[in-house]
Amino acid sequence: NLEPQQRKSLEDKTIHLGLDLKRGMHLILEVDKTKLTDEEKKGATDRALEIIRNRIDQFGVSEPTIEKQGTDRILIQLPGVVDRKRAKELIGKTALLEFRLVEDAEAEQNLLTKIDEYLGKTEYGDSSILESNPLLSNIEFIRGDFLVLSEFKKTVDDYLKRDDVKKMIPRDRTFLWEKAKEIEGRKMFPLFLIHSEPVLTGAAILTADAGIGTPNNPMGVKVDLTMTRKARAKWSAITGANVGKRIAIVLDEIIQSAPVVRERIPSGRSEITLGDASMDEAKDLAVVLKAGALPAPVRVVEERSVGPSLGTDSIRKGVRSILPG
């Protein structure tokens, strides 16, 4: 066994293989600043670079290259990475985490009915016929949730995104989808009417850890969240004021879960249940939540896999040249 000092000395002499000696991944990202204010644009690329660097460091890539190119682009080289899809999702996820209050089922029902009657008159001219329920005919109410089959989700989405329909939705409310669920053997998407403004954001998160075991599934994958000391008092007040109501945990405009608050939560703890997701997905989500949200979306403008260009013979020669004898 080597002493710690001997091990460090040996590691310092180790050859680190870049993309030219080791297979890997090359990306160029562009930070989309189109929706940022002039003030928010300042330093947005630098902030994105640091957050991406933190994510990659936690992902465990050895000797990555992460550099700013121009004003809006970031060059990333990841030696040894073979799971390109997972790496891209980890790097590019905006990871905007929000906690938002959910309207009760009666308020959502009333608004959906109002929209449905309007659409019926607009499209059919007679709200009394069965076919004049263009919206509600695609929505089922099961165990307290408004659910839409996967094949009807686009139809409902298109109706709710119409400019004339959006004017019927209060400014401080919005409809959001929860991720898909298996309900009675069918793939369905819950639809919630929630508050537009969050009561807390990802900035409140101190730690995020992947784990197994949820209230509904002992083998279900989850991410346990612990809040900062400052946020704990606020979370305690929020949960205390909303006992019996739902709070949606929203990640990048998709509801991850919308649990009912059973009691005031003074500990500052919460969890995101991930259903049928893998442990790797839970770990990746924990990484991006700990590293923080990107200041703006990023898009891939160049991507390629890189093979070793120098070959194994060159590597062997390089190793032999530093060995004694």
CATH topology identical between 4-93+297-322 and 199-291: no
CA-based Rg of the chain, rounded to a whole angstrom?
25
Quick: pLDDT tens for 54-81: 888 877 777 889 999 999 999 999 888 8
State mean pLDDT over 198-206: 90
pLDDT of res. 238: 95
pLDDT-derived band at 126 (thresholds 50, 70, 90) equals low
Element (H, E) at 141: strand 140-142
Task: Tell me how far apart the alpha carbons of residues 48 and 81 are, in angstroms, rounded to a whole number.
Answer: 21
pLDDT at residue 322 greater than cutoff 50: no
Quick: pLDDT tens for 212-241: 988 778 888 999 999 999 899 999 999 999
Topology of 199-291 in CATH?
Answer: Gyrase A; domain 2 (3.30.1360)
pLDDT of res. 5: 56
Quick: pLDDT tens for 132-176: 689 999 999 998 899 999 999 999 999 999 999 999 999 999 999
DSSP line for 49-82:
HHHHHHHHHHHT-SS-EEEEETTTEEEEEEET--
Q: Can you give the length of the chain in residues?
A: 325
pLDDT-derived band at 196 (thresholds 50, 70, 90) equals very high
pLDDT-derived band at 18 (thresholds 50, 70, 90) equals very low
Higher pLDDT, 90 or 244: 244
pTM (2 d.p.): 0.70
Per-domain residue ranges of the chain: 4-93+297-322, 105-195, 199-291
CB 257 within 8 A of CB 251: no
Q: Which long-range contacts (CB under 8 A, 24 or more apart) does 38-45 make?
A: 40/295, 40/296, 44/295, 44/296, 45/71, 45/72, 45/73, 45/74
CB 146 within 8 A of CB 140: yes
Topology of 4-93+297-322 in CATH?
Answer: Alpha-Beta Plaits (3.30.70)
